[in-house]
Amino acid sequence: MRESGILNRDINDVLSTLGHTDEMIVCDAGFAIPAGIRTVDISYSENKPTVPEILRELRKHLSVENVVISEDTQKQMPQRFQELARALGEVPVEIITQSELRARAKSVKAIIRTGDFSAFSNVLIVSGGGPRWYVEKP
């Protein structure tokens, strides 16, 4: 029986399928999830859990190349934007429109839906190679 790390079997399965440059979204409770996209719904009540909580836990188990956050988050929720941008560590942050984020959601490998009621709390994560990867130097 698993007793450490991420205990949610569906999240573990999603993480195991991600390769370099694959994308997934961690979203708030109101994000419009496209039909046909694998969804792991971990919401259990208002603001439980939050997107930043999940991002901080994912950081322990996932290599991230960059994150994508809506400019609406940056403009309308600046403190939340900073919290989301920092939650996965020092990775590049790409800013796009909310409509572009919704369009990209149609091709992600999975979406993890939280109970977060903070507006525009949606983060697209681009999976990357971590520090374990070896590259020969000429």
The pLDDT tens digits for 40-82 are: 999 999 999 999 999 999 999 999 999 999 999 999 999 999 9
d(CA 113, CA 13): 15
Supply the pTM of this predicted model: 0.94
Q: Is residue 20 flagged as an active site residue?
A: yes
Give all strands (DSSP E) within the chain, no chain letters.
Answer: 23-27, 39-41, 64-70, 93-96, 110-113, 123-127
Taken in order of first residue, the domains within the chain and their CATH numbers are 9-127 (3.40.1650.10)
pLDDT of 94 strictly over 90: yes
Set 5, 7, 13, 20: catalytic member: 20
